[in-house]
Amino acid sequence: MRIFFFIFSAWLISGCDWKIPSRNEGIVEKDTLAVTDSDFARMDSLLPVADSLPADNAQNKDTAFLPPSQTITTKATRPEEVVSFAKTLVGTPYVYGASNPKVGFDCSGFITYVFNHFGIAVPRSSVDFTNVGRSVPAETARVGDLILFTGTNPAERHVGHMGLVITSAPDSLRFIHSSSGKAMGVTVSPLGGYYTKRFVKVIRIFP
């Protein structure tokens, strides 16, 4: 039973989004437990599917999800408002599959909750932001842009993590996100080093 609990715990922190992640998906940083292919094979046979995970109230009736590759309608909301609200959530713990501040957030659950607070529907999974919005150079990033990263393997270029840009160029780009790394929760990070290697693009959804 203890072995199962250990494997189950390692599996929970290995992803970023509420869907079952690929082996390289999520924001599991350098100090996180390494898992081999054989470990994943054992997990596949032992662990429950996502639908059977413990309920965390993340799927609230008022949560608005947007299908992938569709336009996000920001209405009259200003990006500064969104960023200010996001900052009030710093310190909320990282919880795989959650989008509820009383429970915690994974990376896209955090973004979903922040934008839903303003009545803005967004995709629920970070990978579903791949073709949303307009790509802009990181050097021209503005407050309110979204920043996308790969999973833990930079060689696999699909999106596996995301954050909200809180500083505008030419200042050093900083973003707020829910990390399962050292911070284990909502935190602010600069784009540099580890994140530079995993950087995919910045997307703009505000006019």
From CA 109, how far away is CA 128, in angstroms rounded? 13
pTM over 0.75: no
The pLDDT value recorded for residue 167 is: 94
Query: What is the domain count for the chain?
Result: 1
Q: Among all residues, which ones are annotated catalytic?
A: 107, 161, 177
The pLDDT value recorded for residue 16 is: 58
The pLDDT value recorded for residue 44 is: 36
Buried b (16+ CB within 10 A) or exposed e, 58-73: beeeebeebeeeeebe
Which positions of the chain have pLDDT values less than 70? Answer: 1-65, 68-69, 170
The pLDDT value recorded for residue 36 is: 40
HSE, side-chain direction, 13 A CA sphere, residue 111: 33
Residue 147: strand pairing partners: 163, 202
Nearest by Cα to 105 from 175, 34, 15: 15
N residues, the chain: 207
130-150 pLDDT tens trace = 999 999 999 999 999 999 999
In CATH, what number is assigned to the domain containing residue 173? Answer: 3.90.1720.10
Q: What is the residue range of 104's domain?
A: 1-207
